[in-house]
Structure 1
Amino acid sequence: MCLQWPAVSPDLAPIEHVWDEMQRRVRALPNQPVTLAALEMWLRFVTLLVTVTTCSSTSERFVFSTSTCPAPNECYCGSVVHCDQRGLAMVPTFTPSRDYFYVLDLSHNRINYIPARAFKGVNVSAIDISYNSLQLNMDDEAFVGMEDILGKLIVSKTSMTSLPRSMGKLRRLRSLIIDHTLLTSFEDLVLQGLRYTLQEIYASNSKLTSWPTSVSSLRNLVRLDLSGNNIKVIPPDAFVNSASELQVLNLQNCRLTVFPETITSLTKLKELYLGDNAFSVIPLPSFNGIAGTLEILNITNTAIRQVPNAIKNLQALKKLYLGSNHITATNVGNDVFDGIISTLELLSFDNCYLTHVPPAVVRLRTLRMLNLTANHLHVLDQYQFSKMAALRYLVLNENLISVIKHLAFSGLGNLTKLWLSRCALQYVPSGALGQPPNLELVDLSYNRITQLVDDSFPNMNSLKDLSLSGNPLTNISKLAFRGLATMDRLHMDDCGLGRVPKAIQYAYGLHNVDLYNNNITCDCSLKWIANWRASVGLIPHIQSVCHGPNDDLKCGCDLVTLLVTVTTCSSNQRAVRLFHQHVPGSQRVLLWIRASHCDQRGLAMVPTFTPSRDYFYVLDLSHNRINYIPARAFKGVNVSAIDISYNSLQLNMTMKRLSAWKTFLGKLIVSKNVYDHHCSSFLWGKLRRLRSLIIDHTY
């Protein structure tokens, strides 16, 4: 790839063009990565394909490669130089290299001093030295040599008290993250050196007690986060020079007693966060300068007692957060939303004092999400939301709702998700729930519902996810779920159930059932489950004789064990998912079992397991101090996945160690270890059913 740079170009570093080429190649992949791990894997591959040569007489060659690592042995390199979580007490000595890397990660160590020229010779666009010693200090020349390379610096969660002078010479620095530090001010000389390049400052939860005046020198500042400081007052000239480009301003929890009217000069502001402050009045002209640009406004948990009329002037507003204010329904003016009636998409009134839905709210015809959590609503009347045709998400959790009229949700043709958790419902509002034709999720958890009658959920032809968790269900009709042909997942955990409800077999599209934290007896009465699964073409992944109080009952049949109590490393038991295989064209059902974990127990060796014929989904031995896997360590333990990640850095295995797994192990996780790589290809080859192998961050 040949790149042309004119002699007067303001950007002579080729790394920007390399990133651009890499981005294009990743986007051209047939299967786009959807996780950070997958993205890093592809980046390692495409970087080997990108070679940039300048079209000049010197023909300098810039190669973005992973072939050499400038860090010492305790670190390792990919597209990121990983020196994090290594217990380092000082910055390691780096070998000068012409290779480019995305990040140098020195976070989560014990480094307490950054010496002069600490990073010289390391070509990275970002450095992360967060979460180090609480006594971290920096030499004024700490970043010498990084002036034309470094674009992002992260120094969070340290006790840094001042910005080193060399930081002001980082001519390409665009993002500065210095939150949770002991900074009391920003040095004028440092920020003046960054006035044309710095675009983002994150300095939340520091020790600022007054407005940092040097911020006004930043001509291209786009995002400023000073939340969690003790600023109290914003001076009128706070944004004299930086007002032209600022788009995001976060001043939450700054103890502001007066609304900062100076924000009206921020003519490009799109997001404004002023929650958790103490002002009680928002003057009418406060938003005049940003009326056509502001899209997100957060004024939660302040001292206001009514919806400010100034909001009606925000013609571009899309998201409005008013929660945790002492606002009653009578303090919501009928015309307060008139200016945004056709633009607002999200409105949050959670933790207020509404006793009914204000008329001004139901007139918002473009609203897609309405959050009324933790108010004082008692009754939902007929046609309560009928004018809100665009509404897709309605959150009514933690109210006192005991009555929902038959046509309360009529007219909500686009509603897909409805939350009614922790209310006072004593019955399923069948008629109301059947009104929205596209409802996919309904959460009725932790109400007072005691019974499910025949056809409790009529006309719900699109329902996929139903939660009844936490209800004291004592009577469930066999036909309670009849008609729910599309329901994929059913939550009935913590319902005090003593039996698996037979009603689930009439939800023909059901794939997942959550029944954990009940008191289900696993005896021969569960034979109907095996028959039901066989009748719909299911292949049980786990088969076992009954376990429970009737172990000695000679029923003469093999049953699916729903609840299996396992004696392993501790009595602390957690719910884990157990996936059942299925044949093509049929269903699969996910049931919950109970199992114990061996993770985070400080184990120095693999525990001795009691042989068992029961099958479990995972054996978790991660986050221990195990440094050796003996022969046949897991013989007699029937699991489909084993996790031995995050153990001793000297963890070793040989070919015999996995000999007992070869017929059933499907997934193996050995991340963050050092294992015997000389025989790894032979070792994995013996695992005939292994489908997933996770060995990242190893040697």
Structure 2
Amino acid sequence: MRCLYKDEQICETGKTKLAMFHFGVIASFFVAIVLAETEQTCNSVDGFRVCHFRGVLTEVTAERSRERLEISQLNLLSIKPGAFKNLLIKSLSFADRNHISTLQPGAFSGLSKLKRLHLDSNAVTLVPNLFQELGNLESLSIIFNHINNIPAGTFHGLSKLTFLYLDENDISTINVNSFSGLPKLLYLHLSNNKIASITPASLAHLDELNILYLNYNQITEITPDTFNGLTKLEGLYLKENSLTSIPQEAFRALPALERLHLSNNKITTLHSNAFTGLSKLELLHLENNEISDIRPRAFEGLIKVEDIYLNNNKIHILPDGLFLGLTHLEAVYISQNNLTAVNNAAVQLPSSATIYYSD
């Protein structure tokens, strides 16, 4: 401090006051930190000490050995990176009365043994590398979170993930890198979203996927390239979408498919060779559509199919030879159409099969 006073005593007094001011600022800062730590609320929850401050989970430590932790009814908004102190738990849930929205990479560090994570009914915004520390995670549920975007790299590090639940969100599209980094994924749940389009081959790297749920979305079109790479898929669920037709070879990329659900769409036409490549298909649901036009050879190649559901459509006539080669066919359900009888010989219905006109 430069003294502008002739009176040295006044000058020294000014210096002292300035020093005291600086000391007061620094002291206030440290007091704020101490208060934050001392004012945080800590609870004992099923063998864990759970601390939070102003909606942020700040610290979780184990008081005794437990494998499961449910952190509920705390109205949490976020998780401080590093909050989990090397816990050995296998299951963690935030699904009851929290409002977690902002998470950063590192939020789940200290959970190297975790196998199941439930973030249902929050407001999580996905960001790249959010789960990168969870290399042993097998099941991740983020239902009812208003998610509208899946950034590339969101699921990086989840090399053992088998189940992924993203139902009941606002996802509108699936892009090429939406689900990168999931080499072991078997079950993908995307029902009750707003998906209108699936970028061709965007799921191609999910080459172990067994079941794909896309019910209750807004999908208007599928192409022969939509499901490229899903060579092990056994169940595809597309109920309650906005499909209007099934083009030729629409499912040619799914050689292992056994169950196909296309009910409750707006399908009007089944094109010839619509199901080419589905040589293992056993169950085909096409009920509750607007099908009025079934082209010849529409079911060609379905050599293993056992049940076909066509009830509640607008079918007037079945083309000759429609069921030719369907040697495993057992039942065709065709009630609530404009048909009163079918010439079994003309449509080449196998002798082992029955057509049901009423429920």
Q: What TM-score comes out, normalization by structure 1 length?
A: 0.39
Whichever residue aligns with residue 349 of structure 2, its letter is Y
Instruction: Give me the whole-angstrom Cα distance separating, in 1, the residues matched to 2:196 and 2:311.
Output: 26
Q: Does 1:221 align with 2:63?
A: no
DSSP-derived class of the 1:325 partner: coil
Per-residue deviation at 1:225?
4.5
Give yes or no for contact 2:289–2:313 (8 Å, CA) kept in 1.
yes
Instruction: Give me the whole-angstrom Cα distance separating, in 2, the residues matched to 1:477 and 1:356.
Output: 32
DSSP-derived class of the 1:339 partner: coil
Q: Which has the higher helix share?
A: 1
Q: Does 1:423 align with 2:265?
A: yes
Give yes or no for contact 2:246–2:269 (8 Å, CA) kept in 1.
no
Per-residue deviation at 1:414?
1.0
**Residue in structure 2 matched with residue 267 of structure 1 by the alignment:** 112
DSSP-derived class of the 2:212 partner: strand
Give the share of equivalent positions with the same residue, in percent: 24
* Cα deviation 1:68-111 (Å, max 9, x = unaligned): xxxxxxxxxxxxxxxxxxxxxxxxxxxxxxxxxxxxxxxxxxxx
Whichever residue aligns with residue 391 of structure 1, its letter is L
**Residues 255 and 491 of structure 1: is their aligned pair in 2 closer, same or farther, counting only changes over 3 Å?**
farther
Written as runs of structure 1 = structure 2, the 5 A alignment for 1:220-299 is 220-225=65-70, 229=73, 231-233=75-77, 236=80, 239-240=84-85, 243-244=87-88, 246-259=89-102, 262-279=107-124, 281-290=125-134, 292-299=135-142
**Residues 500 and 294 of structure 1: is their aligned pair in 2 closer, same or farther, counting only changes over 3 Å?**
same
Written as runs of structure 1 = structure 2, the 5 A alignment for 1:124-135 is none
**Residue in structure 1 matched with residue 351 of structure 2 by the alignment:** 508
Instruction: Give me the whole-angstrom Cα distance separating, in 2, the residues matched to 1:214 and 1:264.
Output: 12
**Residues 490 and 224 of structure 1: is their aligned pair in 2 closer, same or farther, counting only changes over 3 Å?**
farther
Number of equivalent positions: 307
Whichever residue aligns with residue 270 of structure 1, its letter is K
* Cα deviation 1:508-534 (Å, max 9, x = unaligned): 2326x65444xxxxxxxxxxxxxxxxx
Q: Does 1:321 align with 2:165?
A: yes
Give yes or no for contact 2:246–2:270 (8 Å, CA) kept in 1.
no
* Cα deviation 1:547-585 (Å, max 9, x = unaligned): xxxxxxxxxxxxxxxxxxxxxxxxxxxxxxxxxxxxxxx
Per-residue deviation at 1:354?
2.8
Structure 2 unaligned regions, length at least 5:
1-41, 49-54
Per-residue deviation at 1:456?
4.2
Give yes or no for contact 1:455–1:483 (8 Å, CA) kept in 2.
no
Per-residue deviation at 1:234?
6.5
DSSP-derived class of the 2:197 partner: coil
Per-residue deviation at 1:461?
0.6
Give yes or no for contact 1:441–1:465 (8 Å, CA) kept in 2.
yes
Give yes or no for contact 2:283–2:305 (8 Å, CA) kept in 1.
yes
Q: What TM-score comes out, normalization by structure 2 length?
A: 0.72
Q: Does 1:345 align with 2:190?
A: no
Runs of 4+ in 1 over 6 A off after TM superposition: 210-215
DSSP-derived class of the 1:437 partner: coil
DSSP-derived class of the 1:475 partner: coil
**Residues 429 and 368 of structure 1: is their aligned pair in 2 closer, same or farther, counting only changes over 3 Å?**
farther
* Cα deviation 1:610-641 (Å, max 9, x = unaligned): xxxxxxxxxxxxxxxxxxxxxxxxxxxxxxxx
Instruction: Give me the whole-angstrom Cα distance separating, in 2, the residues matched to 1:455 and 1:445.
Output: 19
* Cα deviation 1:45-78 (Å, max 9, x = unaligned): xxxxxxxxxxxxxxxxxxxxxxxxxxxxxxxxxx
* Cα deviation 1:374-431 (Å, max 9, x = unaligned): 2322222233323221222112222211133212211321111111111111122441
Give yes or no for contact 1:454–1:481 (8 Å, CA) kept in 2.
no
**Residue in structure 2 matched with residue 664 of structure 1 by the alignment:** none
DSSP-derived class of the 1:249 partner: strand
Per-residue deviation at 1:295?
1.5
- Between 1 and 2, higher relative CO (CA 8 Å, sep ≥ 6) is seen in 2
**Residues 478 and 405 of structure 1: is their aligned pair in 2 closer, same or farther, counting only changes over 3 Å?**
closer
**Residues 419 and 344 of structure 1: is their aligned pair in 2 closer, same or farther, counting only changes over 3 Å?**
same
DSSP-derived class of the 1:418 partner: strand
Instruction: Give me the whole-angstrom Cα distance separating, in 1, the residues matched to 2:100 and 2:145.
Output: 9
Whichever residue aligns with residue 344 of structure 1, its letter is L
